[in-house]
Structure 1
Amino acid sequence: MTAKHFVLAAGGTGGHMVPAAALAAELTRRGHRVALITDPRGSRFPELFDGIQTHVLPAGRFQAKRPAGWLPAAREMWRGRALARQLYRTFKPAAVIGFGGYPAFPALLAAFAQDIPTAVHEQNAVLGRVNRLVAGQVQAIATSYDKTERLSSRFADKVHLVGNPVREAVLALRTRAYPLLEEDGIFRVLVTGGSQGASILSKVVPDGLAMLPVQFRRRLQVTHQARIEDIDAARAQYAEHQIAADLATYLPDMPEQLAWAHLVIGRAGASTIAELTAAGRPAILVPLPGATDDHQTANAREITRVGGARTIAQSEFTAVELAKQMQKLGLDPAALENAAGRAKSVGRPNAVGDLADLVESLDAPLVRLPVGAPAKPKAAFA
Structure 2
Amino acid sequence: MTSETVQPVQTGASRHFVLAAGGTGGHLIPAFALATELEARGHHVALITDERGANIPGKPDSLTAHVLPAGRFGKNPFSWINGARAVMEGRNMALRLFESFEPSAVIGFGGYPALPALLAATSADVPSIVHEQNAVLGRVNRLLASRVEAIATSYSKVERLKPKFRSKTHLVGNPVREDVLALRDEEFPAFTEDGLLRVLVTGGSQGASVLSDVVPDGLSMLPDGLRQRLQVTQQCRSEDVDRVRERYASHNIAAELGTYFEDMHERLADTHLFIGRAGASTIAELTAVGRPGILIPLPIATDDHQAVNTRDVVKAGGARMIRQSSFTPKELAKQIQAMAKNPSSLANAAHGAWNCGYPDAAKNLADLVESMAGIDLMDVVRVGETNPRAAKVANKTQTATRDASQKDVAA
For the residues of structure 1 that align with 2:60 and 2:52, how far apart are their CA atoms? 14
Alignment correspondent of 2:310: 300
Alignment correspondent of 2:205: 195
Read off the aligned partner of 1:318 and give its amino acid letter. Answer: T
Alignment correspondent of 1:37: 48
Instruction: State the 1:286 CA deviation.
Output: 0.4
**Correspondence 1:229-308 to 2 at 5 A:** 229-308=239-318
Alignment correspondent of 1:96: 106
SS in 2 for 1:264: strand
Change (3 A) 1:257 1:209: same
**Correspondence 1:340-379 to 2 at 5 A:** 340-364=350-374, 375=381
Instruction: State the 1:76 CA deviation.
Output: 0.9
Instruction: State the 1:214 CA deviation.
Output: 1.8
Question: Are 2:167 and 2:384, in contact at CA under 8 Å, matched by a contact in 1?
Answer: no
Question: Are 2:15 and 2:373, in contact at CA under 8 Å, matched by a contact in 1?
Answer: no
Alignment correspondent of 1:334: 344
Residue 51 of structure 1 pairs with residue 62 of structure 2: yes
Residue 218 of structure 1 pairs with residue 228 of structure 2: yes
Change (3 A) 1:326 1:202: same
Question: Are 1:208 and 1:320, in contact at CA under 8 Å, matched by a contact in 2?
Answer: yes
For the residues of structure 2 that align with 1:377 and 1:168, how far apart are their CA atoms? 28
Q: Deviations over 1:270-290 (max 9, x none)?
A: 000100100000000000110
Question: Are 2:278 and 2:295, in contact at CA under 8 Å, matched by a contact in 1?
Answer: yes
For the residues of structure 2 that align with 1:158 and 1:75, how far apart are their CA atoms? 31
For the residues of structure 1 that align with 2:249 and 2:378, how far apart are their CA atoms? 59
For the residues of structure 2 that align with 1:356 and 1:235, how far apart are their CA atoms? 44
For the residues of structure 2 that align with 1:305 and 1:367, how far apart are their CA atoms? 37
Read off the aligned partner of 1:53 and give its amino acid letter. Answer: T
Question: Are 1:367 and 1:381, in contact at CA under 8 Å, matched by a contact in 2?
Answer: no
Structure 2 gap segments, 5+ residues each: 1-11, 389-411
Alignment correspondent of 2:145: 135
Read off the aligned partner of 2:73 and give its amino acid letter. Answer: F
Q: Deviations over 1:250-302 (max 9, x none)?
A: 11111111110000001110000100100000000000110000000000000
Read off the aligned partner of 1:16 and give its amino acid letter. Answer: H
Question: Are 1:28 and 1:34, in contact at CA under 8 Å, matched by a contact in 2?
Answer: yes
Question: Are 1:367 and 1:377, in contact at CA under 8 Å, matched by a contact in 2?
Answer: no
Alignment correspondent of 1:372: none
Alignment correspondent of 1:71: 81
Read off the aligned partner of 2:103 and give its amino acid letter. Answer: P
Change (3 A) 1:296 1:137: same
Instruction: State the 1:378 CA deviation.
Output: 11
TM (normalized to structure 1)?
0.96
Read off the aligned partner of 2:55 and give its amino acid letter. Answer: R
Alignment correspondent of 1:20: 31
Structure 1 gap segments, 5+ residues each: 370-374
Read off the aligned partner of 1:69 and give its amino acid letter. Answer: S
For the residues of structure 1 that align with 2:343 and 2:382, how far apart are their CA atoms? 40
Question: Are 2:168 and 2:383, in contact at CA under 8 Å, matched by a contact in 1?
Answer: no
Read off the aligned partner of 1:238 and give its amino acid letter. Answer: Y
Instruction: State the 1:46 CA deviation.
Output: 4.3
Question: Are 1:262 and 1:282, in contact at CA under 8 Å, matched by a contact in 2?
Answer: yes
SS in 2 for 1:12: coil
Instruction: State the 1:363 CA deviation.
Output: 3.0
SS in 2 for 1:202: helix
For the residues of structure 1 that align with 2:218 and 2:205, how far apart are their CA atoms? 23
For the residues of structure 2 that align with 1:162 and 1:132, how far apart are their CA atoms? 18
Instruction: State the 1:379 CA deviation.
Output: 8.4
Question: Are 1:3 and 1:31, in contact at CA under 8 Å, matched by a contact in 2?
Answer: yes
CA RMSD of aligned residues (A): 1.5
Question: Are 2:287 and 2:356, in contact at CA under 8 Å, matched by a contact in 1?
Answer: yes
TM (normalized to structure 2)?
0.89
Question: Are 2:135 and 2:308, in contact at CA under 8 Å, matched by a contact in 1?
Answer: yes
For the residues of structure 1 that align with 2:55 and 2:338, how far apart are their CA atoms? 40
Question: Are 1:308 and 1:339, in contact at CA under 8 Å, matched by a contact in 2?
Answer: yes
Q: Deviations over 1:130-183 (max 9, x none)?
A: 000000010000000010000000111100000000011111111000000111
Instruction: State the 1:70 CA deviation.
Output: 1.2
Question: Are 1:366 and 1:380, in contact at CA under 8 Å, matched by a contact in 2?
Answer: no
Structure 1 consecutive aligned stretches of length 4 or more whose deviation exceeds 4 Å: 365-369, 375-379
Instruction: State the 1:219 CA deviation.
Output: 0.5
SS in 2 for 1:50: coil
Read off the aligned partner of 2:15 and give its amino acid letter. Answer: K
Question: Are 1:157 and 1:368, in contact at CA under 8 Å, matched by a contact in 2?
Answer: no
For the residues of structure 1 that align with 2:387 and 2:118, how far apart are their CA atoms? 19
Residue 380 of structure 1 pairs with residue 386 of structure 2: yes
Instruction: State the 1:49 CA deviation.
Output: 2.5
Question: Are 2:212 and 2:236, in contact at CA under 8 Å, matched by a contact in 1?
Answer: yes
Instruction: State the 1:368 CA deviation.
Output: 7.5
Alignment correspondent of 2:189: 179
Change (3 A) 1:297 1:366: farther
Question: Are 1:122 and 1:143, in contact at CA under 8 Å, matched by a contact in 2?
Answer: yes
Question: Are 1:220 and 1:243, in contact at CA under 8 Å, matched by a contact in 2?
Answer: yes
Instruction: State the 1:99 CA deviation.
Output: 0.1
Change (3 A) 1:25 1:376: farther
For the residues of structure 2 that align with 1:197 and 1:238, how far apart are their CA atoms? 18
Instruction: State the 1:109 CA deviation.
Output: 0.6
Instruction: State the 1:199 CA deviation.
Output: 1.1
**Correspondence 1:78-89 to 2 at 5 A:** 78-89=88-99
